[in-house]
A and B are shown apart, each in its own frame.
Chain A
Amino acid sequence: MNGPEPTERAVDVLVVGAGPAGLAAAARLAAAGAGRVEVLERDAAPGGLPRLCPGTGFGADARGRPLDGPGHARRAVGAAVRAGAALRTGVSATGWAAPLLLEVTAPTGPETVRARAVVLATGARERSRAARLLPGTRAEGVFTTGGLLRTLEVFGPRPERIGRRAVVLGDDPAARHAVRLLRGAGVAVAAVVCPGPRAAVGAVGAPVLAETAVTELTGRGRLASVVVRGPDGRSRTLACDTLVLTGDWVAEHDVARAAGLPLAPGGRGPVADGALRTTAPGVFAAGGLLGGGGPAVRAAAEGRAAAGAVLAFLAGRASGAAQGPPVVAAGALARVRPDLLGPEPGPLLVRAGRVLVRPVLTVAQDGRVLRRDRLPAALLPWRPLRLGPEWTRGADPDGGPVEVGADDGCGDGGRAETATDPAGGPVEAGAKG
């Protein structure tokens, strides 16, 4: 690329991404006196995806009043700026000139920014139509929830843009969110198509087609229909002019990948340990980048935790690179975080691959069971469960992989018949087995 020479700058901590995790990390870092803390946001406005999300579910303000997405974003921005963090919008990190030296594109020109520590909080997005290998024509009117939110932001609820009759694809609460969003914009919802069980979506006031795959999109110009195939093998054609793809999150990992960081399977975020350190010294990660689709408050909590790890690193109290034995999911579990245990026992976040009714969870290392226990409730694929540090107590930091398994007696190929609880209720509500 020919262009002006990049200007060189130095900061103490560079946070990439001004969403819930990045802003929370920056607020804590700046408040704790980490020096110059700078947050880069490629969007024109800070706040991340919550900025575009109507409805509550974004925590509460100081007086306990529930916040909507924009409210959450405003609060998070305010907290970071008040703490003294510098917030730069319209600025993207594009690569690394060297370790801890980021290449940055700003409207004022290219820069390289050196930092003592970097927090990657670049978030996640829902997989696109192509990434899901949905066959058919390339008709217009196929959005992810994120794309729909941005379309609503730019155009408002204009039917020629967002359609009149939509099908929603997805089988977790994100699908419910999309249904609400569409109805709020005056779009009828023809059906919700779930690749998995319907339980995750719950009652949405529209037909929910469970165990159903999208086999073709039709339409020239605008989408005309979605052809689906149900568990009985029969095909159905759902007439619609909009299809919203929900869930199926993939990390916005360009900056992480450019650093050569190894990626975790599935969500494709950088491998990180329990202290949110990546394998590159001084580079930390938090929020949707490590697992998309979670609530903003959890991403923010993770941002604050990452800030704690950064502070320990800057003070020389801890190493800046991920360590510890790998943590791997076994049996009916789809995912366990962190990817590396870290220097000492820490909590685990487990996600089931299917509905598990009162499963027995086992944490083991090198053939030695660290803990085995039956959960009092069901483990639902769309609701990750946190296991406290007691589950990994006794793990050998220099030992082999820590395996986390789950078994509910149905076998891995089985399917829980009791997958009927409405999403949104407490985890325990699902335990009927």
Chain B
Amino acid sequence: MTTTATALPATGTGTGTPPSAPARPGPPPTGPSRTAIPPSTPGPADAPSSTPVPAGVSSSGAGPVDASSSGTAPSRVRRVGAPSPGPARRTVGAEAGGSPRGGRGGRPVPGAVSRRGPLPAGAEAAYDVVVVGAGVVGCAVARALARHPLRVALVDAADDVGEGTSKANTAILHTGFDASPGTLEAGLVRTGHRLLTAYAAETGIPVEPVGALLVAWDEEQRAALPGLAAKAARNGHRATRLLGPDELRHREPRLGPGALGALSVPGESVICPWSTPLAYASQAVLNGTDLHLGCRVTSVGTPGPGAPHRLTTTRGTLTARHLVNACGLYADRFDALLGVADSTVTPRRGQLLVHGRAARDLVRHILLPVPGPLGKGVLVAPTVYGNVLVGPTAEDLDDRTATGTTADGLAGLRERGARIVPGLADEEVTAVYAGLRAATGREDYRCAAHPALRYVTVGGIRSTGLSASLALAEHVLGLLAECGLRAGPERPLAPVRMPDPRAARPDRDPARRAVVCHCEHVTRGALLAALASPVPPAGPGGLRRRTRAGAGDCQGTHCGAAVRALLEEHGKDGRR
């Protein structure tokens, strides 16, 4: 992986850190009982994996640890001997073994997941690395760090993981065929596609490799296709193929009139965008990472060279020897807390609409527009849950909270969708949503190591963050090493298995088999399982993203009240 890590010097000293401060780990922070020590008795599972960096993501851990942990009774996996938990502190239920912290023989002690109440104090609040931002990138970084004997916390202002850009995107796992060759993004998307494809198979994240067709609707677009194929080749994607109008019609029979040809891009896939950060976060938590939600960082203080950062949050104070900024839309504002002013985020809104399952047969591939002067344009794509998605718009805004849809935006998508696939005009709209992408005015990611600050910013992920997430995480580990993080030996991660909302559940209890959401066939058992999962939902939206309850054609008209009642009765801290 050849990337262009830009280790920019800190451009400000607002926090009082001398820019020339040595980037070496100092003595342990406050408290004598810092637990960030390598396991005293590394078992065989702790041996470094035989393959280099990225392989650790998908293959180093699953086999042996899975096998060894299968004999671990879940009830034995408890935080033993830990300081008494705070009011909001809770040890998550665990399904696997292997611990970075004091675990014996590679059995993990899960981290804490909390949403409210004061943060842990003293040594419990002292971390080697704090990752700020629990979107798909932050969760992936936390998961990558969990392979090492480090005390790691993942914090987010929202009350669930993936609550920002990560929950409202086009749900596509890109190959990176159309990236600008030689950019950081091009390399990371390409690697990330491979890693996430393997990881999804391993963890059960729904993925469908339907492939993409870049459809040319006029001569100018058709003339651009060979150039796009050449660009794809420069990005290492040589399997693209030009299709004439007849073959295109054969492969995509419901396409609207006027399509002149297409570039076929095998490997472009659709993926569940919600299970992905959730799988990362769950695996990080199961392997010892603390997840603090509802925890907005309001200031960062660095007392002196070598001393840890002091993060003041809405829930209390944390210290971190190293910091990762994965704040997405707020990456520039978090940078500012450390006196860094590299870039400004301009939110780019993408509105999308989703058709019901009845429309699924109308579309076989991801139908991409040929990029033009006005950006990437509107795509039509199936989803792993059998919907058809149309979008996104691209509107540059100032308001970082403007996740609303607009009448013009939706009407435009309706019209564009019907032009690409006319049958969509007769289909009901099941859902509409809008997401904000973190554009920075530069057509590449902005990943920067600030060794003097022991601080890494992973920003400008205005698109493709889901696709690149696992490769980005490895890249960030490299940047952290530049900042002096000594991660210690790598050990396999205890595996996670995500429940597939599409699959029938094996519940034997008839009460758990009762269907609550009829549109999506979600049973009471599936809802209860999600509410009891390592990273449980905070509200009906989170429950919907985990189980599909309320995501169907009636949008919760039928099940909304029943789902809410379950959340109130069984949710850990479900009231928002």
Contacts and interface: CB of A to CB of B under 8 A. Distances in A.
B428 A147 contact: no
Contacts of B562: 150, 154
A116 interface: no
Contacts of B407: 133, 135, 215-216
B204 interface: no
Contacts of B428: 127, 131, 250, 268
A131 B404 contact: no
B564 A154 contact: yes
Contacts of B564: 151, 154-155, 161
A133 B432 contact: yes
A408 to B, nearest CB: 30
A172 B190 CA distance: 55
Interface string B424-455: 00001111110000000000000000000000
Interface stretch (B8-16, B141-149, B261-269, B551-559): B551-559
B576 A155 contact: no
A137 B558 contact: no
A42 B564 CA distance: 19
A145 B510 CA distance: 30
B504 A1 contact: yes
A138 interface: yes
Contact of A108 (B353, B510, B515, B541): B510
Interface stretch (B121-129, B206-214, B409-417, B487-495): B409-417
The interface size bin for chain A is 35 or more
Interface in A125-155: 125-131, 133, 135-138, 140, 143-144, 146-147, 150-151, 153-155
Contact of B518 (A1, A92, A128, A154): A92
B155 to A, nearest CB: 21
Given A131-B429, A154-B561, A155-B565, A136 B404 contact: yes
A220 B404 CA distance: 10
Contacts of A2: 503-504
Given A94-B521, A153-B561, A133 B414 contact: yes
Kindly name the residue among A2, A109, A128, A129 whose own CB sees the greatest number of chain B CB atoms within 10 A.
Answer: A128
Contacts of B401: 220
Given A2-B504, A129-B555, A105 B515 contact: yes
A217 B353 CA distance: 17
B557 A147 contact: yes
B576 A221 contact: yes
A147 B561 contact: yes
Contacts of A138: 403, 433, 541
B81 to A, nearest CB: 40
B515 A150 contact: no
Nearest to A129: B555
B503 A1 contact: yes
Given A44-B514, A92-B515, A131 B558 contact: no
B405 interface: yes
A126 B515 contact: no
Contact of B409 (A128, A135, A147, A150): A135
A3 B504 contact: yes
Contacts of A155: 561, 564-565
A256 to B, nearest CB: 11
Nearest to B560: A147
Contacts of A150: 557-558, 560-562
A146 B518 contact: no
A426 interface: no
Contacts of A107: 510-511, 513-514
A125 B554 contact: yes
Contact of A90 (B406, B514, B556): B514
A126 B553 CA distance: 11
Given A2-B504, A92-B521, A140-B540, 8 more contacts: A1-B502, A94-B521, A108-B510, A130-B430, A135-B406, A143-B557, A150-B561, A155-B564
16 contacts: A2-B504, A92-B518, A107-B513, A130-B353, A130-B432, A133-B353, A133-B410, A135-B405, A135-B406, A137-B404, A147-B560, A150-B557, A154-B562, A161-B561, A217-B404, A221-B576
Q: Return the 3 tightest CB-CB contacts between A and B, nearest first.
A: A128-B555, A107-B510, A154-B561
